[in-house]
Structure 1
């Protein structure tokens, strides 16, 4: 048995595994994603390898975690004492740091199978209208833990999710510990917006850009992790622009209040018929939707427009279309 590595993470994982085997592992890594690449899953996979008591060579000759030892099981269950998670929170009277949200965090990760994004996390803790930050208290905790000895004698690993959310006034506290950490201390940061991470933090970490999964890879994850049938998985991949965290969030919340295909058809027909008053009514209806629903709807409409243009120009498309989508595009291509 070997650990689960997402296929689009494989090359990066193997490169870092080789560095680990050659004892030239960087002490601070910053995984940069655009949203749908699931860098947190990769960070946890790396933590499992680094803490594994009995790593094994895979068929390509790279080390992987055995997936069986006590350390592997602890990392998988989020109970390893030397793997520390820090993430954006909503500061409340009795909740000021990541530890205070740890039970909700673990429940969220298990429910979403590690396919996560900030929007779904904030909704999970019922704080959709609040600004999430990695707090000053968390920055202090990182420094203090890094200076302590490890509990199990291997690495102390800090997984810092959404590093652009570091409270700017407190972030300088981390500069020295990231630049010159104690022995066997590793930082794995994750960001959706690399340009928003403080330049003084970025310059102290090795930046790794995570590739985007193909639609076929997303279909495989939806089937393997969530037992979703192929046709339904195709619909979700197309509807949500191959954004796995957004798809998984929809699976858990079932929150789409409109049929996007019906909205798109109505929008296009009213536009080409120049029916301004009806378009205004449609805009008012659209404005009543939440921001996340608006983003999803517009993303799907852009996918439809893209597919229509490609079909009209006889250009092959890699967009995964189900039978309903194909019918919609045939209806609208005359426009």
Structure 2
């Protein structure tokens, strides 16, 4: 990956270039940003730039410099096979695979398929986690830390990329913290997160934070045009507008539109059941919800939260919303009448609590049943 591949975020890229040229490279950096904004692309482009043997500098471009993309180091970073590039990411134990390293082939295939734009739900779908929950375990941390004892094989700077750092198990965090306090020479930790508030303060205090901006609509379109040119401009524009500038969702829209429509259909059915407060219907939909697997359950609830906020925006005429089709638009215009200012915070709270309970391995059928009654009662007040 190169800096030119990062969607938007020119100021952040130039800041990283300037700090590298001045030799002020913090040994541990946290890249923070929303899903689908290109955090992993930035991390990989930065790692490639730092180790490039023939950097390219521009006098008249928006980006001040970039890696050459041609030297031996760049080519190995591009293929994600550089011996001094290491990854940690959430996995589930399956088929005797217990470490990120065991999934490295799938990881490379996934990154190539998604052009570096990655998302937790699409990664879990790719490795088929089913009813398990992904995490970064103590063994995973120990495995990557053990590689720090060896001298760099080729790179000037060894790079450890930890994607979705919020998924590090609580008991694994102290292992990482000790290493951050006593860093190995010529080693760079790049942690990536979508929710910095869930990272232990003691870990955050050892990190230099990089906050990425959500790409503009134009940046999103240009990225999709460069990487998915087989699709028409209309398809690309629809993907951008229907994903709310989340490139992970935009790519899924292009390849798996039917899956996104399933979430829409689920939301519509659920809201109608909640409004009727029909106990039998709530039990049925709760059973269906329990059958889809824990990671997908959390994803569905997160998407429902976004859609309820969308209805609130329509109700209060905040901004302009896009829809998949006229049928969805009609539903939201009618549904938005029931999303009142006084109840939006309560609905958001109930959804957040339901997600937390699922993460703690609570009974999903019971959780969703209680959530449905809570939301339904709010519609009636």
Match of 1:243 in 2: 246
The aligned runs of 1:112-131 (5 Å cut-off) are 112-131=114-133
Which 4+ residue blocks in structure 1 deviate beyond 6 angstroms? 265-268, 277-280
The alpha carbon displacement at 1:114 in A equals: 1.0
Closer/same/farther in 2, CA of residues 147 and 264 from structure 1, 3 Å limit: same
Distance 2:146 2:244 in 1: 42
Match of 2:344 in 1: none
The alpha carbon displacement at 1:30 in A equals: 0.4
Closer/same/farther in 2, CA of residues 279 and 232 from structure 1, 3 Å limit: farther
Farther off after superposition, 50-59 or 176-185 = 176-185
Match of 2:190 in 1: 188
Closer/same/farther in 2, CA of residues 223 and 323 from structure 1, 3 Å limit: farther
Match of 2:159 in 1: 157
The alignment covers a number of residue pairs equal to: 325
Using structure 2 for the length normalisation, give the TM-score: 0.73
The alpha carbon displacement at 1:3 in A equals: 4.9
Indicate if the aligned counterparts of 2:157 and 2:187 stay in contact, CA closer than 8 A.
Answer: yes
The aligned runs of 1:2-17 (5 Å cut-off) are 3-17=3-17
Farther off after superposition, 244-253 or 8-17 = 244-253
Residue aligned with 1:8, SS: coil
Residue aligned with 1:169, SS: helix
Residue aligned with 1:159, SS: strand
Match of 1:224 among 211, 223, 226: 226
Match of 2:112 among 75, 85, 110: 110
Residue aligned with 2:77, SS: helix
Indicate if the aligned counterparts of 1:307 and 1:329 stay in contact, CA closer than 8 A.
Answer: no
Residue aligned with 2:209, SS: strand
Match of 1:140 in 2: 142
Residue aligned with 2:96, SS: coil
Indicate if the aligned counterparts of 1:18 and 1:63 stay in contact, CA closer than 8 A.
Answer: no
Distance 1:326 1:263 in 2: 11
Farther off after superposition, 258-267 or 141-150 = 258-267
The alpha carbon displacement at 1:276 in A equals: 3.6
Match of 1:215 in 2: 217
Residue aligned with 1:171, SS: helix
Distance 2:64 2:21 in 1: 8
Farther off after superposition, 84-93 or 199-208 = 84-93
The alpha carbon displacement at 1:309 in A equals: 3.9
Match of 1:43 in 2: 43
Indicate if the aligned counterparts of 1:236 and 1:247 stay in contact, CA closer than 8 A.
Answer: yes
Closer/same/farther in 2, CA of residues 224 and 328 from structure 1, 3 Å limit: farther
Match of 2:56 in 1: 56
Indicate if the aligned counterparts of 1:65 and 1:72 stay in contact, CA closer than 8 A.
Answer: yes
The alpha carbon displacement at 1:265 in A equals: 11
**Could you give the per-residue CA deviations for residues 178-207 of structure 1, whole angstroms, max 9, x where no partner exists?**
223122111100011211112221111111
Indicate if the aligned counterparts of 1:261 and 1:328 stay in contact, CA closer than 8 A.
Answer: no
Using structure 1 for the length normalisation, give the TM-score: 0.82
The alpha carbon displacement at 1:128 in A equals: 3.4
Report whether the alignment pairs 1:303 with 2:307. Answer: no
For structure 2, the residue ranges without an aligned partner over 5 or more in a row are 338-381
Indicate if the aligned counterparts of 2:311 and 2:336 stay in contact, CA closer than 8 A.
Answer: no
Residue aligned with 1:4, SS: helix
Residue aligned with 1:158, SS: strand
Distance 2:4 2:113 in 1: 17
Superposition CA RMSD, Å:
3.4
**Could you give the per-residue CA deviations for residues 106-142 of structure 1, whole angstroms, max 9, x where no partner exists?**
1111111111111111111110321211122222223
Indicate if the aligned counterparts of 1:31 and 1:209 stay in contact, CA closer than 8 A.
Answer: yes
Closer/same/farther in 2, CA of residues 277 and 190 from structure 1, 3 Å limit: closer
The alpha carbon displacement at 1:47 in A equals: 0.9
Indicate if the aligned counterparts of 1:82 and 1:156 stay in contact, CA closer than 8 A.
Answer: yes
Match of 2:375 in 1: none
Indicate if the aligned counterparts of 1:19 and 1:25 stay in contact, CA closer than 8 A.
Answer: yes
